[in-house]
Structure 1
Amino acid sequence: MSESLKGKPKQHLEQLKCHFTWKLLLKDTDLEELEDRLCDQLTFYVTKNKYMVYNLLAYVMHLKGDYTKAIANLQKAEEMIKENNPDGTDQKYLVTYGNYAWVFYYLNQYEDAQKYIEKVEKIYKELKDKPDIADIYGEKAWSLLTFCGKYYEDAKQCFEKALELEPEDPEWITGYATVVYRLEGFYGGNCPASECKSLDLLKRAVEKNPNDAVVKALLALKLQDLDRTDEGRPYIEEAIKQAPNLPCLFRHAAKFYRRAGMVDEALRVQKTALGLIPNSASLHHQIGLCYRQKYLIYKKQSESRNSHNRYKDSEEVKDLIQNTLFHFEKTLELKKTFIFAYIDLANMYSEAKEYRKAEDTFRTVMAFTNLEEEEKQQIYYNYGYFKEYHMKSEAEAIDYYKKSLQITLLGSKRELCEESLKRISLRKIRNNIHDAEGFALLGFVHKTNGERNEAIDCYEKALKYDPYNEEYVSELSELKMMI
């Protein structure tokens, strides 16, 4: 059999259901940051499913080319399964054995690889070749959820499959609630209660997992999304009492406090967590957001104070800017793929009047080749704002506002781009009733929003004042054909 495996290297291996066949791609994650997160979970989490963490960590070691550590983590996974599943079936070993087979294959140890393939086949025979196993769907879902945000939708589908097979399993209930919550967060968390599926799912997860402090914190954050902060606060406070040394929980609690305007309380819990995990990109980002919020408050207050206090405030504001920059820069040092941290850092460089650094940071993040549409929308809006208000380049600002508006995802940044373009176009028209560009820009906004008749009217006015403009002719012709 080992010769067969060697002759047809992946024919048997690709049939295994494990991390090596789940298309967890290196380009979609920051390996060092992911490894740190997994090690933190092993250090601070108390759960019988730590074997999943070891399995994913073994795959990370494979991506790093360290097969000694990969095998060590698989051995740990095997120990954890045995320790927590003394009388259960062997189906929990399927993913681990599949990972073993792949690791030995990459080490050219074909006999060992074949041994684990046969272990998998034996378990399936004992299960009477049952094709669908909740443990596999659940572990795949958890791994996708942990690996990167691009995989959340696939993770959701896997949790649904696991729940079809084991509808009362607390782990799958919690995982499903978590991924739905995160998916809703991609759209700003501002959906009305009637459309927020995660609210009821999180409530059910809390009922099923009363000892899970993290899911209580997520429920508190969801209630806060729905302007029910007072309802959410008891969940946060109960969670902190329940797990006073859990860094992940502190991150959620800090976010809750920051959004509630309790910035100093948010900083306090974040710094406590940072003492436990000093290399957390997420924590540094959240601390940066708190310092930025304090800076914006001081900036607003300083406008109405006398000159002496203004000078005093300017020193405090300077410190806040530097603290914000330090933590945003540290975030990207630790996690080079943190897209929104680039935006935050670039915007803060702008506030500090470090325009070259702001420009370079925007250019760096725009050069990423795997940006999601929401990420592009936010980058283009913020870059347009930077060009308009800091670089005084209205033409460049318009270009990027238009790029952002053309991304059809609904959200606050798209609305802001629409408002900005309308503001610029109407100002142009007020200043000069014959301003063709102002009418064309307004026509572009109407066209992007599907308001064709209004767009035609605007482009006709633009052509009236600039009759030989090829762009306006083309746009008008296209609109009339659509009608």
Structure 2
Amino acid sequence: MSGSSKTAMKLRLLQLKCHFTWKLLVQDTDPEELEERLFSQLTFLVTKNKYMVHNLLAYVMHLRGDHTKAIDHLKKAEEMIEEKNPEENSKKYLVTYGNYAWVSYYLNRYEDSQKYIEKIEQIYKDLKDKAEIAEIYGEKAWSLLKFCGQYYEDAKQSFEKALELEPEDPEWITGYATVVYRLEGFNKKPSPASTCKSLDLLKRAVEMNPTDAVVKALLALKLQDLNRTDEGIKYIEEAMEQAPKLPYLLRYVAKFYRRAGMIDDALSVLKTAVDVNPNSGFQHHQIGLCYRLKYFIQKKKFGNKRGEGLEKEMNDLIQNAIFHFEKTLEFKKTFVYAHVDLANMYSEAKEYQKAEDTFKTVLAFPSLKDEEKQQVYYNYGQFKEFCMRSEPEAIDYYKNCLQIKKSQKEREFAEKSVKRISAKKIRNSIHDAEGYALLGFLYKSNGDRNDAVDCYAKALEYDPNNAEYVSELCELKLMI
């Protein structure tokens, strides 16, 4: 194929609606971990749209550079569509054929690529050039939802488009409820029921999909978020009756039990799930959280009063938590929160070098989101302050946390830590310039510029040659 023909084909490919044109970027996910999750869903989830899983798996194979396996998954997707849609030109083929065209192009099979482009064009002709197709919006939304959390808002918009075209489709209703629920989960502060859009959406999804145990568990978790655990338990029990060994469900059931303080029940459910699907990083993480919670409950109850038996129990809880957090990272290598949880448990075990190395590893990740950075900075600051006894380093990490404007609990905790350190310094010496400068930094990070000016001015009274304080004060005065 000549260069100009190849360019013309590339332009036609870029107009197709499929995974290759939906901007699913490899740097935003872990292809290996995503592949594991998708295979788990193929094995355990009951859905009429499994062909979509194969379509996304084909794209994941492309990201991993294995176009032969990509073709295999596209064949399976095509077979599944054909089984339920015997008409040759069903609109359900559009995304699959688009993926075929792209994979063929990457394999230098230009005639095959052209063939699939023509198949797509024929389907659109049969549809009288109908551009708005619910299946495409729905599959795009589903793929964005599975790919990574930062695509959830785009997934929500695509589900909304699918529902505009097919408002009673159970799959799109369930997907939309799920993504709204997850987006609400990004806001760590609890919201009143009146502002929780996902509650009504999840209720409708349960009505439309009475056999979907997973969506019942999500509804139960949302009710629990709203302090309506007694209502939620009904849906948990129904879900467990329907699918007692479905790993994808058990993860949510265990989360519900753990948050309700039923830790042993949560552990029992999770061990069942791990027996069925031992390579699930999520489930190992949940088990680690259960052991961690049991440890801190005991620590709060007994403090430093520990006999030989209790000491062994506490050490066992620490080691069990560490084991499962380490297993989590075997399967989910870039799971930021699991790294933080592991580092904190290393600290409890007094394995300080391992904790240090774990914090450094996660901070080196190239694409940390702001909320992830906040959690790492705050926890690293705690480690530096209380384990390494390095207050200056702790202050630096608390400041890094505060400079990120995301309103999360870690930011609030960092603010309290800076206030505590500042108060201690001023209490120890009324002339402590750094104590006032820390307060100035805190006021500035919260937008209270006048109070920040007063604090930095006070700091300069006691340390008049400090270039940092002079610079901060000048900057603040220019901003007022």
Verify same fold: TM over 0.5.
yes
**Quick check: 268-277 or 156-165, which moved more?**
156-165
Task: Map Cα deviations across residues 368-393 of structure 1 (whole Å, 9 max, x no partner).
Answer: 11111100111100000100011001
Task: Judge which range, 24-33 or 89-98, deviates more.
Answer: 24-33
Question: What is the identity, as a one-letter code, of the residue corresponding to 1:424?
Answer: I
What is aligned with 1:192? Answer: 192
CA contact 2:45–2:248 (8 Å) conserved in 1: no
- Deviation of 1:2 (Å): 10
Q: For the residues of structure 2 that align with 1:156 and 1:224, how far apart are their CA atoms?
A: 23
2:391 corresponds in structure 1 to 394
Aligned residue number for residue 113 of structure 2 = 113
Whole-angstrom CA distance in 1 between matches of 2:111 and 2:410: 56
TM-score (norm 1): 0.96
Alignment correspondent of 1:217: 217
**Structure 1, residues 61-102: CA drift from partner, whole Å, max 9, x if none?**
222222232122111111211222346961111000011111
Cα distance in 1 for partners of 2:400, 2:120 equals 51
1:441-456 equivalent positions in 2, closer than 5 A: 441-456=438-453
1:439 corresponds, among 427, 431, 436, to 436
Question: What residue number does 1:42 align with?
Answer: 42
Structure 1 partner of 2:400: 403
CA contact (8 A) 1:5 1:110 kept: no
Aligned length: 480
SS at match of 1:102: helix
Residues in 2 aligned to 1:100 and 1:77: alpha-carbon distance in whole angstroms: 11
| Offset from partner CA, 1:279-310 (integer Å, 9 cap, x none) | 001011011111111111222233275x5xx2
Taking the TM superposition and a 5 Å limit, the aligned residue runs for 1:227-306 are 227-303=227-303, 305=305
The question of 1:64 aligning with 2:64 is answered: yes
Offset, 1:107? 1.4
Contact 1:217 1:236 in 2 (8 A): yes
- CA distance, structure 2, for counterparts of residue 304 and residue 360 of structure 1: 28
| Cα pair distance change 1:145/1:5, threshold 3 Å | farther
CA gap 1:179/1:408 in 2 versus in 1, 3 angstroms: same
Alpha-carbon contact 1:213-1:249 (below 8 Å) kept = yes
Deviation digits for residues 321-377 of structure 1, max 9, x if unmatched? 111111101111111111111111111111111111111110011011111110011
For 1:313-324, list aligned pairs within 5 A.
Answer: 313-324=310-321
Equivalent residues of 1:274, 1:280 under 8 A apart: yes
SS in structure 2 of the partner of residue 453 of structure 1: helix
Q: Secondary structure at the match of 1:23?
A: coil
1:455 Cα deviation from its structure 2 partner: 1.4
Match of 1:414 among 411, 415, 430: 411
Q: Alpha carbons of 1:458 and 1:34: their partners in 2 closer, same or farther (altered >3 Å)? A: same
Q: Deviations over 1:408-443 (max 9, x none)?
A: 111111110110000110111111111111011011
Of 355, 380, 385, which aligns to 2:382?
Answer: 385
1:122 counterpart residue number: 122
Task: After TM superposition, list the pairs within 5 Å mapping 1:24-103 onto structure 2.
Answer: 24-86=24-86, 90-103=90-103
Moved more, 244-253 or 73-82: 73-82
1:13 pairs with 2:10: no
Q: What is the TM-score when the length of structure 2 is the normalising length?
A: 0.97
Secondary structure, aligned partner of 2:320: helix
Q: Larger deviation: 183-192 or 85-94?
A: 85-94
Superposed CA RMSD: 1.7
The verdict on how the C-alpha distance between 1:222 and 1:292 changes in structure 2, with shifts beyond 3 A counting, is same
1:477 aligns with 2:477: no
Separation in 1, partners of 2:454, 2:365: 38
* Equivalent AA in structure 1 for residue 374 of structure 2: Q
Q: Is the 8 A contact 1:44 1:245 kept in 2?
A: no
Residue 149 of structure 2 is matched in structure 1 by: 149
Instruction: Compute the displacement of 1:245 (Å).
Output: 2.2
Corresponding residue SS for 1:392: coil
State the shift of 1:193 in Å.
Answer: 2.1
Report the Cα offset of residue 3 of structure 1.
9.3
Matched residues, percent identical?
72
* Matched position secondary structure for 2:337: helix
